[in-house]
Amino acid sequence: MELFWFIPLHGDGRYLGTSDGARAVDYDYIKQIAQAADRLGYHGVLVPTGKACEDAWVAASSLIGATRRLKFLVAIRPGLMTPSTAARMASTFDRLSNGRLIVNVVTGGDPHELGGDGIFLNHSERYEQTDEFLSVWRQMMQGGEVNFDGKYVRVESGEVLFPALQKPYPPIYFGGSSQAAQQIAADHVDCYLTWGEPPSEVAKKIAEVRQLAEARGKKVKFGIRLHVIVRETNEEAWEAAESLIRHVDEKTIAEAQRILARYDSVGQRRMGQLHNGDKNSLVISPNLWAGIGLVRGGAGTALVGDPDTVATRIKEYGELGIDTFILSGYPHLEEAYRAAELLFPRLPLTLQEDAHHGDIQASGELVAYNKRPQSGSVI
């Protein structure tokens, strides 16, 4: 398994739906989170994109020199840039980071936001555009001159003069629940991502994408995007979940769901159907809680429980074929440490080399300034 963490470019705090307990997300703060994830051995971080966020490429680029091993999952958005521009950006980032880029292809889901960015294509058209975009991008990243004349993309003598370090190009990650998205995944991507739905639904998606990919002679990896609320006991974990939404009232839920309802994203619709805006129906599968999705777009579910329980649930997704887990928790700095401390020892992980696990500096405060305390797993 590979575990990723999350850089909260859209804000962070102790609670949802309120400014109480909020904190400024400036460069120093995101650097703290990135360096914590790097030091603890997370494989990488997801750097989110969209109108509600600081720019993902600028933010991720600013963190290259502040980290050593951490990979950056950064969004490319077809329609907002040409394939040639995206290829040069990806190549430069990969070279300057010494091969630490992963590309997250985001086709978009909010027509209102897309209109503000000058994109007026419907759902089907956007995926057609994404198919053309990735066809050109992949060719260009592999070197040589590219010519392409499509419905949405036209390139004459396109070329990347400074190639990426990773071959044939940085890995492509991509999520989408529609049939059109699954076709894109089968044709173009290295890792297909899903949001945290119940295992039975995730299994169906994996089977569908795997079948499409195999028909093309390809293999695709699978990943999942989840929040985690893990505490030393189940009781503490569920108390923390309830505390996270303690300020979320019915008016806030209704307004959030009204906005999210305008999305033409199949995945977002599926997220909304998990709870239907009902604060009393949030446990949708054992230890899978949909409370975050009451007010948050995108990933709206969390695994909640004690370390053994959450690790068991993660392993259950792993048995379905998931090997990349993109996790987050509020606030993101503290929860990066908590998740590492409580979950890493219980999971079959591929950690980054030289992560600080179990060294003398992690032994805790000496007892009476003289004796090293006894412990189980340490970070």
Question: What are 102-120's pLDDT values in tens digits?
Answer: 999 999 778 888 899 999 9
Name residue, tokens 């703060």.
Answer: 29
Task: Kindly tell me if the per-residue pLDDT of 192 is higher than 80.
Answer: yes
pLDDT tier at 376, thresholds 50, 70, 90: low
Asked if 177 and 209 count as a contact pair (C-beta separation under 8 A), the reply is: no
Tokens encoding 30: 């995101």
Which range has highest mean pLDDT (74-83, 231-240, 345-354)? 231-240
Under 8 Å between Cβ of 176 and 267 = yes
Between 266 and 25, the more confident residue is 25
Arithmetic mean of pLDDT, 157-184: 95
pLDDT at 360: 38
pLDDT at 22: 94
> Can you list the domains of the chain with their CATH numbers?
2-235+306-362 (3.20.20.30)
- Cα angle at 13 between 326 and 229, to 5 degrees? 45
